[in-house]
Amino acid sequence: MLYRIALPIFVIVFYGSLFLVGALGFQEIYDNILYGLGIVPFAWPFVDAHAILSAAQCHREGVDVLISNPCDVLNRPLSYSPLWLDLVPRFATTEHTFAVGVAFNLMFVAALYAVLRPASWREWACLAVACTSTAVTFAVERGNIDLIIFALAALAAMLYGRGPTARLAAYAICIFGGLLKFYPFVLLALSLRETLARFVKIAMTASVAFVVFLVSYREPLLTVANRISTRSYFGDLFGAKNLPFGMVELRYGAMDGYKLALAYSIFLVAVAACLVIALFFIRTFDAQRIRIDWTRHEARCLLIGSLLIVGCFFAGQSVGYRGIHLLLVLPGLMMLWRSTADRVLRHLLLFTIGAVLFVMWQEGIRHSFEYLLRLIGLRDRIPGTPSQIFWVMRELIWWWVVSVLTGMVALFFIRSPSARIIVNNWASRQKSSTNPTGSNAVGNFSGGVVQNVLQRRTRIEVSVLVDEGRIAP
């Protein structure tokens, strides 16, 4: 309990001291600290909270904020869900930026207390490093909406571990989060835990809510969607396209024709490698007879964080502050590391924890790396060879992290009642309607593999006894 209480206190002191430095007029020190943490500083904090308030303010004045936003200090048009224009209270203006930014951060700190439960000083130190990382500092300093999404995810994780009614509330929170920033809709995969009839009802409810949302905000949503574009593969964005498309761009220049085909070929190879790593973890957990208890707090957080990160990674490019959701996966990875006795698996899990910390700190490490290159007189930007090597290493580590988290999602999928019924029915239908030697042989083979894995997992009834800190046969 002491570790759990000390962590949010440490976060408040750390960021409170940082903001105090800026508030007292030591702007150069403030900027240098932020740059050292991997962030290009703005003139004042909470500029993303300012963007929401300014958009709502100009919208109330009749300005089309989808085109331009003169109320915003950077004249940024709305790039979030148009639902925010109706959610922001009418009295709230850009004058309330500081108060709203502080409120966002307090919600985040409360969520940290709910999510992070270190069991030792080593885990506390690891989580403290994560909580002061570039990804987290970026979200906190900007007062970004992902702080709210993190808080909603934490609340959903708490409710998901309770009874059927509480789980329905968790799914409702996931839908609400999706309406606020789209990508949390992926959390509705949590409902695969339910019976098939209940899962269908939840899916239908979510579909109705989504359709009503689309109809109500059709034109604003189309405008926001059309504004989404591919940005640099070498900045602070993370996503599946960075490595394959960035490699081709580095070697051959601007993307067109055969270069695009080459980039997609590399992408498919990377996806195949990701699936192989995920399958390795599935098979290793089977071989060690490990069954993750998804009702455990750490496991629920691991699942929710994995869904968010994997969904964002493959959906497109995400700004670095979205890596804040990696805080959700760390408790689960630590739990698995504590619980398993297999030496190889322990080393892989420990490496994954280190990889998560690396990608959360990636921009801070990059800034320090480039500063070192400048000191020794080497080129400090891509396409400089040292920076290319660092960039490739960073992207490979991202793919490793996402591969492991994909494996965690797959383990949940395999154990989910609704998923097992759906896959078994699909495999049975394929088997009865086609000849394995015919045109659908590949489909039958893949269905048979999935069905075999599901049946094998069904026979394994060994649980991870996390409370005792060991795996019991």
pLDDT beyond 70 at 64: yes
d(CA 118, CA 330): 10
In a domain, 456, yes or no: no
The Cα 150–Cα 135 span in angstroms is: 13
The verdict on residue 458 lying in a domain is no
What integer pLDDT is reported at residue 418 of this predicted model?
80
* Residue 381 pLDDT greater than 90, yes or no: no
Domain membership flag for residue 399: yes
The answer to the question of residue 408 being in a domain is yes
Do the domain assignments include residue 420?
A: no
Between residues 4 and 429, the one the model is more confident about: 4
**In this predicted model, what pLDDT tens digit does every residue of 131-145 receive, in sequence order?**
999 999 999 999 999
Q: What is the pLDDT of residue 434?
A: 59
Structural domain total, the chain: 1
pLDDT value at residue 379: 56
Residue 446 has pLDDT above 50, yes or no: no
Q: Quick check: 24 pLDDT over 60?
A: yes
| pLDDT tens-digit series, residues 274-326 | 999 999 999 999 888 888 888 899 999 999 999 999 999 999 889 989 999 99
Q: Which of 387, 354, 77 has the alpha carbon at shortest distance from 235?
A: 387
Mean pLDDT of 460-464: 37
pLDDT at 435 over 70: no
Asked whether the predicted pLDDT for residue 337 surpasses 80, the reply is yes
Report yes or no on 192 lying in a domain: yes
> What is the band of 208 on the pLDDT scale with cuts at 50, 70, 90?
very high
Range of the domain at 192: 1-415
Range of lowest pLDDT (168-182, 315-329, 339-353, 459-473): 459-473
pLDDT at residue 469 tops 50? no
Separation of alpha carbons 32 and 40, rounded Å: 9
Residue 448 lies in a domain: no
Domain membership flag for residue 160? yes
